[in-house]
């Protein structure tokens, strides 16, 4: 059957441009997870290494190995079980499966901004009507509750949030979480929470609470890419009521079918309690050391850069003083300084760049000095 697209495809600008620069610059500070962990650092168990070497490279269970689904379920404070978990190719795979299961062309959905614009972009490309509500820059990225109310109406089928938020690192307060839940529940909409930064808290001792279990129409997405420093595994998941999970699995059959066997095995290893604890400690150390350095650099810069301290995620969303567009700013940074940061424009907010600080201190310091030189250039 031949069908012609109704309008032009909207590319995912953030990912397109990152893939252009991230492997050719000397300092890539555009990532949002902590510095990736090597297999050698991760796997400190000869028996498990042997198991990996012996594993036939078969398809795994397509919904994820049962033991892995069990371990992922444990991340939800006893409120999920393996039947709620579908393993996907990254959080990206989970988001794609969720959106295509819940929405069809002509439907309405509400999206938090600023945001990682994957879900918004898929919705745009699929003819879904999108409303937005903000975390407000001028109000330390607090939720704009009036906008939230205006964005949701009885036709809204899904409300999408990202918590902890990319790019701001903001974590919703308990009362903001309740406001979002109430707004969705009032119209019987699904609430989809992208929680891939959960576990990368900078200061809080506790892991950010999940939306899972707080309302019967909630779906959450998680990933090993960010807080766990394992983006190359391409291992994510969604947690959903079983009937919706089946719908998502049926969508995944048409795209990736399943995550890889090696990713399943390594994820299962990474999520066993002792290893999980070790990874979490590593993440905390990187975030705390990196942020101390970022703050020190910020003090030296005076008013040239300002930002609201991020609560979670290895990212800071930084406003720079010159009024140059953010895409021009990062082009100069890449071409003249061999450093890449994500421009605010890719999150819908100008005069900002998103930088990663969950990085080794020397590397981070050298990259930040390059960012300063770009401000000098445009000042």
Site for ligand PLP, rule CB under 6 A: 32, 90-92, 95, 116, 162, 166, 194, 196, 223, 225, 231, 236
CA distances from 104 to 119, 124, 215, 364 (A): 13, 11, 23, 43
Q: Which residue lies nearer to ligand PLP by CB, 28 or 95? A: 95
Q: Which residue lies nearer to ligand PLP by CB, 84 or 225? A: 225
C-beta separation of 240 from 84 below 8 A: yes
Q: Which residue lies nearer to ligand PLP by CB, 194 or 268? A: 194
Q: Which residue lies nearer to ligand PLP by CB, 110 or 196? A: 196
Q: Which residue lies nearer to ligand PLP by CB, 227 or 324? A: 227
Q: Which residue lies nearer to ligand PLP by CB, 169 or 290? A: 169
Q: Which residue lies nearer to ligand PLP by CB, 249 or 374? A: 249
Q: Which value, to the nearest 10 degrees, does the dihedral of the CA atoms of residues 148, 149, 155, 160 take?
A: 20
Nearest approach, Cβ of residue 186 and ligand PLP (Å): 25
User: In whole angstroms, what is the distance from residue 337 CA to residue 102 CA?
Assistant: 44
Rounded to whole angstroms, the maximal C-alpha distance in the chain is: 62
Nearest approach, Cβ of residue 124 and ligand PLP (Å): 17
Nearest approach, Cβ of residue 379 and ligand PLP (Å): 30
Other CB atoms within 10 A of residue 44 CB: 11
User: In whole angstroms, what is the distance from residue 131 CA to residue 135 CA?
Assistant: 14
* Of 226, 169, 192, residue with least CA distance to 33: 226
Nearest approach, Cβ of residue 194 and ligand PLP (Å): 5
C-beta separation of 264 from 235 below 8 A: yes
Q: Which residue is nearest to ligand PLP (CB)?
A: 90
**What residues contact 24, with CB distance under 8 A and at least 6 apart?**
none
Nearest approach, Cβ of residue 55 and ligand PLP (Å): 23
How far is residue 204 CA from its own chain's centroid?
Answer: 18
Nearest approach, Cβ of residue 289 and ligand PLP (Å): 22
Given its phi and psi angles, is residue 64 left (phi above 0), alpha (psi -120 to 50 degrees) or beta?
left
Nearest approach, Cβ of residue 184 and ligand PLP (Å): 19
User: In whole angstroms, what is the distance from residue 108 CA to residue 311 CA?
Assistant: 31
């Amino acid at each position: 059957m031949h069908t012609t697209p109704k309008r032009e495809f909207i590319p995912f600008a953030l990912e397109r441009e990152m893939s252009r620069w991230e492997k050719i610059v000397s300092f890539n500070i555009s990532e949002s997870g902590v510095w990736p962990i090597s297999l050698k650092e991760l796997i400190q168990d000869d028996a498990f290494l042997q198991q990996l070497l012996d594993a036939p490279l078969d398809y795994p269970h397509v919904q994820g190995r049962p033991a892995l689904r069990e371990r992922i379920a444990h991340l939800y404070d006893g409120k999920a079980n393996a039947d709620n978990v579908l393993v996907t190719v990254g959080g990206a795979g989970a988001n794609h499966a969720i959106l295509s299961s819940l929405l069809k062309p002509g439907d309405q959905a509400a999206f938090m901004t600023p945001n990682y614009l994957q879900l918004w972009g898929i919705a745009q490309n699929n003819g879904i009507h999108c409303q937005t509500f903000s975390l407000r820059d001028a109000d330390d990225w607090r939720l704009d509750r009036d906008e939230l109310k205006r964005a949701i109406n009885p036709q809204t089928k899904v409300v999408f949030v990202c918590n902890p938020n990319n790019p701001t690192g903001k974590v919703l307060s308990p009362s903001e979480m309740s406001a979002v839940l109430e707004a969705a529940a009032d119209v019987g909409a699904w609430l989809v929470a992208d929680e891939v930064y959960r576990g990368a808290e900078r200061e809080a001792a506790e892991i950010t609470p999940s939306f899972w279990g707080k309302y019967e129409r909630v779906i959450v997405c998680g990933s090993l890419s960010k807080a766990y420093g394992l983006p190359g595994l391409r291992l994510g998941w969604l947690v959903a009521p079983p009937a919706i999970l089946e719908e998502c699995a049926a969508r995944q059959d048409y795209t990736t079918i399943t995550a890889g066997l090696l990713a399943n095995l390594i994820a299962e290893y990474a999520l066993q309690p002792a290893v999980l604890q070790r990874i979490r400690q590593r993440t905390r150390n990187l975030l705390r050391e990196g942020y101390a350095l970022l703050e020190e650099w910020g003090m030296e810069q005076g008013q040239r850069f300002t930002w609201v301290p991020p609560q979670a995620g290895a990212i800071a969303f930084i406003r720079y003083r010159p009024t140059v567009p953010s895409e021009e700013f990062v082009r100069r940074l890449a071409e003249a300084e061999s450093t890449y940061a994500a421009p605010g424009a890719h999150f819908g907010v100008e005069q900002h760049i998103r930088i990663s600080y969950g990085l080794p201190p020397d590397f981070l310091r050298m990259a930040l000095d390059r960012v300063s030189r770009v401000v000098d250039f445009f000042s």
